[in-house]
Amino acid sequence: MADNAASGPGMPQLDITTFSNQIFWLVVAMVVLYFIMSRMALPRIAAVLADRRGTITSDIAIAEELKLKAQAAEEAYRKALAEARAEAGRIIEAAKVEMQVELDGQMAKAEAEIAARTAESERRIREIRDSAMDMVSDVSKDATKDILELFGAKVDARSVNAAVAARLKGGA
């Protein structure tokens, strides 16, 4: 803290002898700083900021566009789905109708066959029954003749047959 003769007792700020030095270096410093800032720093930062703003704006625009595209795609998907559902419904309906028609045809055919078979069966049953009836009447006639002969009665085949037939008819 050696006392400097120049410092004096008062404030160094009021030492006019140093003013020219300070002012000179201040002017130099301000000019240098101004050129560094205005030629290098500020345009660079301004460019970066503008660049960023541009990127953000375009990104937002792209996002908007993509969103619209996605909405359109969803719309198309929904439409396709609805169409497919309608088409499927139509196909099912057509298939049902077709099946019904075929079923009806098959049923008719089956019923016809069943009817034919039933008729055939009935006819054969009738035949069997008729032949059985004939056999019964033959057996009855023969038995009657044999019984009558056994009793020693004269047998007139024709009258016996008629009597047995009458009895069978009446008894049946």
Q: Is 12 in contact with 18 (CB distance < 8 Å)? A: yes
Given 5, 6, 150, 157, the residue binding another protein (CB under 8 A): 6
Least CB distance to another protein at residue 29 (A)? 4
Sign, Cα dihedral of 7, 8, 12, 14: negative
The span of 32-40, 133-141, 142-150, 154-162 binding another protein (CB under 8 A) equals: 32-40
Residue 38 engages another protein in binding (rule: CB under 8 A): yes
Residue 12 engages another protein in binding (rule: CB under 8 A): yes
Smaller CB separation from another protein, 3 or 157: 3
Least CB distance to another protein at residue 75 (A)? 34
Q: Is 145 in contact with 160 (CB distance < 8 Å)? A: yes
Q: What is the torsion angle, in degrees rounded to the nearest 10, for the CA atoms of residue 96, residue 100, residue 106 and residue 111?
A: 150
Distance between terminal CA atoms of the chain?
164
Residue 18 engages another protein in binding (rule: CB under 8 A): yes
**Residue with the two structure tokens 């016809």:** 112
The residues near 128 (Cβ < 8 Å, ≥ 6 apart) are: none
Least CB distance to another protein at residue 4 (A)? 6
Least CB distance to another protein at residue 57 (A)? 13
Smaller CB separation from another protein, 25 or 77: 25
Q: What is the largest CA-CA distance in the chain?
A: 196
Which residues are at the interface with another protein (CB under 8 A)? 1, 4, 6-7, 10-15, 17-30, 32-34, 36-38, 40-42, 44-49, 51-52, 55
